[in-house]
Amino acid sequence: MRKPKLLLPRESRDVWAAVLPAAVILATVVWIAYQFVEPAPPKRIVMTGGSEGGAYEGYAQRYKQLLAEDRIDVVLLPSAGSVENLKRLMDGNSGATVGFVQGGIAKEGDDDELMSLAGLYHEPLWVFYRGERTIDQIAQLRGRRIAIGPVGSGTRPLALRVLALAGINAKNTRLLDLGADDAADALAKGRIDAAMLVADTDSPTVSQLLHDRRLKLMSFAQAEAITRHLHYLSHVVLPEGGIDFAANLPAHDVHLVAPTANLVVRDDIHPALISLLMGAATEIHGGAGLLRKAGEFPSEKGVDLAMSVDAERYLKSGPPFLQRHLPFWLAVFIDRMVVMLLPLLAILIPLVRFTPTIYAWRIKSRIYRWYGKLKVLEVDMESAKTAAEARALEERLESIAQSVSRIPTPLAYSEYLYNLRSHIELVRARLDKLAHAAR
């Protein structure tokens, strides 16, 4: 078997002299690019939802199921409602990354570490009451026993603000901190006169109260005026028969006011998870409902906090190109690698082109520098007249020839070496003639 040819030490140095700078440049570019590469998204996030059996808890379960399809484990934290959810999200030590927050709950300054992804759906303020007399204005509730929701829920602050518009407060009215289920039970048994709760139209508690013939649902005669005072509320109309078509519940159109449920995240959430959450939000909330048209949600309308740039882009253009056609984790991997590969290719292409050129220049330069000495010798030949001068020139030429014979030259560049040797022999022939003539 033929043994592979080993590089001579000088040849090896030439290779390293050409390759090493290129390798250093590449390594530097890779290191710099890596500083801009987002880490891989976490495989586990924590969502703060709602109370057991509530709308937020039900929606949180659906988000958990959808994100599990992309191998994201969603840990659900039960909560009293929007107020507690907001507190958890603002607390960096709570572990919560995403949650539902009712519109109007967040205050100025709460968006320092939080972002809204989208408004998800209208969640109306329902006011159920007992008695024969029709109530259609908030002021008519003065002096009654009213359930306004527990501390930590989104119902309580909204109820207090709406009641305050009519001058109703704890001094002139008995306000009770009861949750939706407890309030429904107390209202059915006559222990309270009215119950205020914020819930989606498919809430079992709302359906239960509507089917109770002893109770009435308040239609806000001043709904439009209330939305002018509380700008985060929308005026919505629950159509006749919307809850139960067969039983015709409600028996007439009902005017309600409704905040918008927001999907809120911490601002340090991984960007790739935003598109995943937006995709889930579109699937869960994008259809038509009693209070919304198909495609109306998710939306940038009704949000309290500054919108995420990635979420805004999703609402305008849909999911990123790669996530439309590839599994989530593969799309994320390619997206991360592109950040490194683009600058790497931008440097690699010219390096691949010029590194061989540098290598060739080093080889040729060792050969071409002897042409300079040979040229000087030829110039000296023109002024040589004596035999002693001719012998001195012969010795210089022999020294050049010996040095050239020791030049390490790869096979691919042997042509340049042999050309130099041929030129040395041409000069030697001229020098022999000069020496013969000088004798």
Share of the chain above pLDDT 90, in %: 54
Q: How confident is the model at residue 7 (pLDDT cuts 50, 70, 90)?
A: very low
Question: What's the pTM?
Answer: 0.71
pLDDT at 359: 81
pLDDT of 216-269, one tens digit each? Answer: 999 999 999 999 999 999 999 999 999 889 989 899 999 999 999 999 999 999
Task: Return the SS3 of 24.
Answer: helix
1: pLDDT strictly greater than 50? no
Task: Return the SS3 of 439.
Answer: coil
Residue 90 CA to its chain's centroid (Å) = 20
Task: Return the SS3 of 423.
Answer: helix
Q: Sort residue 95 into left (φ over 0), alpha (ψ -120 to 50) or beta.
A: left
Please tell me what DSSP assigns to residue 72: -
Q: How confident is the model at residue 114 (pLDDT cuts 50, 70, 90)?
A: very high
> What's the chain's Rg over C-alpha atoms?
42
Rounded-to-integer distance, Cα 60 and Cα 54, Å: 10
pLDDT at 9: 56
Rounded-to-integer distance, Cα 72 and Cα 62, Å: 13
Q: How confident is the model at residue 8 (pLDDT cuts 50, 70, 90)?
A: very low
Beta bridge partner(s), residue 266:
114
Please tell me what DSSP assigns to residue 205: H
Contacts of residue 286, defined as CB under 8 A and 6 or more positions apart, other chains included, come to: 294, 295, 297, 298
Residue type at 183 in one-letter notation: A
pLDDT at 431: 86
pLDDT of 188-201, one tens digit each? Answer: 999 999 999 999 88
pLDDT of 359-408, one tens digit each? Answer: 888 888 888 899 889 999 988 888 888 888 888 988 898 999 999 888 88
Residue 258: how many CB atoms within 10 A of its CB? 27
pLDDT of 24-65, one tens digit each? Answer: 777 776 677 666 556 778 999 999 998 888 889 999 999 999
Residue 8: how many CB atoms within 10 A of its CB? 12
Parallel, antiparallel, or unpaired for β 215-217 and 234-238? unpaired
pLDDT of 74-106, one tens digit each? Answer: 999 999 889 999 999 999 899 999 999 999 998
pLDDT of 307-365, one tens digit each? Answer: 999 999 999 998 887 788 888 878 777 776 776 667 777 777 777 777 788 888 888 88
